[in-house]
Structures are given as structure tokens and as C-alpha cells.
Structure 1
Amino acid sequence: MKINWGTGIVIAFVVFIGFILFLIMLMMSDNKLDHELVTEDYYEKGTFYQKEIDAEKNSQLLAENIVITK
């Protein structure tokens, strides 16, 4: 059976759309991939993240590199 170019394009589109739908379902069902932009405690998370940014910026201003040992 010979497939013409029009049928090939339709098959490629269907496969691509199926792949995108699979990825959407995977993202929506897996809690590990949850990247919500809105959270209940956004202010606390924002201030905590800003403290991390400030600490990194302050450490770059030092003359020597910081070494952390456990």
C-alpha cells in the first residue's frame, strides 16, 4: 500500500497532537511536576527566596571564596 504525501502529513499531525496531549496529561497527573505559579503563602516564599539571593550576592562581594564544611 502506497501512502501519498497528504496522508503522510495528516499522520504526522495526528502523531504530534497525540504526543502533546500525552505530555499534557502527564504534567497534570504527576504531583512531582506541579509548578503552580500561585500559592497560598507567596509572600513568605518570596521573602525567603530574596534572602537567598541577597546571601549569594553578599558572598560574591567577599575577597575570598566561601568554603562550607560539615
Structure 2
Amino acid sequence: MFSPPLLKIQKFKLHVNYMHVFSVLQYFQFLFPRLYTSLFSLSISLIVILNTCIFLYSIKTLTFIFLLV
């Protein structure tokens, strides 16, 4: 029988450049408000479109019911 191969576990050192972390945080701090406002305006426009469609459908239905009476 053969012996199992030796596993070489390599250690690695995690080096963090704190100036880089700060610049990434600044980027996200700049990006998130813009993303939030754009998504908010998109959601408002979708709600307006949905309400318009519901309103038009209700007018169409009411007109049809009125014609039946």
C-alpha cells in the first residue's frame, strides 16, 4: 500500500493597506446615496405608472358597466 501524499499547508499573511480601505469606503459613501436616490425615483415612477394603469382600467370598467345599465 502506498502512503497518502503529504499535504503542504501554506500560511499566508494578510496585508491590509489602510489607505486603500479608506479610499474604497469613500467610494461607497459617494456611490450609495446616488444609488439610493435613483432607486427611489424609479420606485416612485413605477408606482405612478401602476396607479395610472389601475385608474384607466377602472374608468374602462365603469364605462362598460354604465353602458350595460
Q: TM-score surpassing 0.5?
A: no
User: TM-score, normalized by length of structure 2?
Assistant: 0.40
Larger helix proportion of the pair: 2
